[in-house]
A and B are shown apart, each in its own frame.
Chain A
């Protein structure tokens, strides 16, 4: 990140709203002028009259993903405002066009087509839910629309998308699961029982964890699949082998709290170690009654929800601009807990788009091929204000980034990072090479 962003932070202390991002667009010149001596200013001023770069933000504004959409929107607005205040991309302001897909795969493709034909955007960005991403991928390919997803699904790296689809701002679930194994066997125990919902999300964990656990010297001793419509779990707990050291749980949905409560009642104070994914409790206040049973247990977090004692400037800068407090909730609205584990991906992806457009000398839709190639040419992102979650490597062939994962312990109603995996912990052999596809 350049000096510009640091300076602009001085004039941006309020929580971001859609409007302030818009004002950022309208008032870009003033902001740039305020930055005065910033190195990007001259370049921006020269191109101030040029048309904005249009980024189509396909957001889960309504539907099942709305709680995530709200925070994806806030994070995105914060990053767009910063980029615009610092002079935009190649001297051009970003114009963010938000379309709601209702977290609906079919609507997703309609939105993608609308972005291309009606709004004539330069890139599309921001989709989270994998079913929507999977439906959208082919449409993006057909429309030759650069499409930067923030989904953490494995479909991009697995080669099931196409040359126009990238996931450069968040690691995929396969990588996340694999990276957990060394910590689990090294610190919590060798014999692992998995409890997961009986559908695709659970299968990511069911299929990817055991090989990694074995590689790390442990063993998955049982796998308990729970039907998605289940709302009471007591009858499943006797299936947990008595020699289990660690319960690896990834339950999701409204019944999670019941699951935790009933597991607590089943084991009392002495049970196996617990390891989970924050997906289960994303946007849920950890001080909620009933979660006490999780005290001492560990969670995967993409980016830490709670401000850590050793947080660096970049992390503080990011949190400050997105508008979250030390507990990861909206500033001034402590019950509005953010989706901190995932939403950083929007911020980082926007900076990847910016960098790729700068590398490509992107001027407009005619340069889309150059933009694809410039994105593919990237290999690493350094930790900093543009990548506050941490440094990452990027595989131009699989269009997927790899990064550090955080393992946090739940104690005193807070999550504290106790381990940060290496990038290598989550690496796996490439499964695709999109660069062989014709543009």
Chain B
């Protein structure tokens, strides 16, 4: 009888042995130790390097070209049209999330891949933001002014709070909600989100809202401060061409404006959510919340614990970051306001954020971008072949097998370690700018450097851990 009962609950154990299984065979422990050591060592070496030359390197720019500003309006309208077409596909195309272009383009190409382009290359989103064109039109129709101040902010202490709250909701949709890839539901969510943010842009001004309210634009803009290409800003509604310069990766983080507390929260939310993305799949987390990782019941069963985990991870990261900066202030004995120190040093988290984003989305981008390519040729599942890619056979094997696992793991490890090294470097320059004295700057960074050493090991551990969800 007991046996019979057990049988009835039996799920054939289809937990996949591949991918994370291969990583378990790799000597990942050495990578963890080596990565943490490399970050610690880089801090020690930087201690001996005078920050002055680094600061000058950060200020280096090379003029490249001027981009015609009228492209912005045109590209935005095209982007808006593509967005609406994708929403239509979400409603009327295939129900299969790997055949419907909406979830593939939104999650893989936009959130997955474009964020990486923003961080490595430059602020492409400035040109293709689908809100810009319609906002310009509506603003003109309603007689609102288009030209705005470059330091546009939200009124009444809102600061970055709208972006932070929206980002938390976005992360919840991605990581906790049971069906983020369902084409129909995603279409409704995105359409409502689009219209609400268009309205908010009209009310608060495009520039202010896209920087502090709409969370994707705010995130893209922040992460693009890391990129090679810099678009020089001349305010909204500008009529002149936009000069594009080249800067060293991360250079613009050191000179970024001091973030208000809500901006620090927003920035740390971005890192904590991708960290929780990794954590929530590990055996360790699943065991902690009492779920058998070999028999994961589906997201519906873990909404509560994963919501708590997502918020808890954010709170924990914000907590240790503030603690590290506070301890650093105490060590340096400087009288710089705590708020100013956190707001400046928070920018050093951006390289880590991008590194996590790359590491955690790499395999999905490699496979799902192929599905996306096939799906856009036949968005409504009518047997069309608009771009000649509809019959594309998806090479899912690109991420499969021992050799791929080795390459992917090494890429991920290199990216994570590089991100932290850059973070230490950025923090070094920021601290020097804050404190002015080499010794004080150095002391102030010790706790933050320790946090980065820990986060390097944690990041590698997340990627090396067995996963079951």
Contacts and interface: CB of A to CB of B under 8 A. Distances in A.
* Nearest 3 Cβ contacts at the A-B interface: A104-B298, A335-B397, A336-B397
Interface of A: 14-15, 17-20, 22-23, 25-27, 59, 61-65, 67-68, 70, 73, 97-108, 119, 128-132, 134, 151-155, 158, 160, 173-174, 197, 199-204, 206-208, 228-229, 231, 250, 252-258, 261, 279-285, 288-290, 323, 329-330, 332-337
A288 B401 contact: yes
A154 B397 contact: no
B468 A253 contact: yes
Nearest to B22: A257
B10 A201 contact: yes
Interface in B208-256: none
Interface in B258-294: 283, 286-287, 292-294
B466 interface: yes
A51 B8 CA distance: 39
A253 B8 contact: no
Size range of the chain B interface in the assembly: 35 or more
19 contacts: A18-B94, A18-B381, A27-B383, A63-B469, A64-B298, A104-B301, A105-B298, A131-B298, A134-B8, A153-B11, A154-B8, A158-B4, A158-B8, A253-B21, A258-B25, A279-B14, A284-B17, A330-B396, A334-B397
Interface of B: 3-4, 6-25, 94-99, 178-179, 181-182, 283, 286-287, 292-301, 374, 377-378, 381-383, 385, 390-398, 400-404, 466-469
A115 to B, nearest CB: 10
B359 to A, nearest CB: 18
A68 B14 contact: yes
A231 B24 contact: yes
A55 B148 CA distance: 56
B45 to A, nearest CB: 36
B400 A231 contact: no
B14 A200 contact: no
A132 to B, nearest CB: 8
Contacts of B22: 257, 288
B8 A333 contact: no
A59 B97 CA distance: 10
A201 B9 CA distance: 8
B402 A254 contact: no
Given A228-B294, A330-B393, A201 B13 contact: yes
Contacts of A99: 95-96
A256 B468 CA distance: 13
Contact of B10 (A101, A102, A203): A203
Nearest to A158: B8
A203 B294 CA distance: 14
A335 B16 contact: no
A367 B466 CA distance: 48
B383 A25 contact: yes
Contacts of A285: 400-402
B397 A329 contact: yes
A250 B12 CA distance: 11
A160 B8 contact: yes
A132 B18 CA distance: 22
Most chain A CB within a 10 A radius of its CB, from B17, B181, B301? B17
A1 B283 CA distance: 47
Contact of B181 (A100, A228, A330): A100
B228 to A, nearest CB: 33
A108 B300 CA distance: 10
Contacts of B293: 228-229, 253
Given A25-B383, A102-B179, A154-B10, A255 B298 contact: no
A426 B95 CA distance: 38
Nearest to A119: B95
A257 B14 contact: no
Most chain A CB within a 10 A radius of its CB, from B12, B15, B97? B12
Contacts of A200: 6-7, 9-11, 295
A104 B300 contact: yes
Contacts of B6: 200, 203-204, 207
A104 B181 CA distance: 13
A15 B393 contact: yes
Contact of B3 (A207, A229, A282): A207
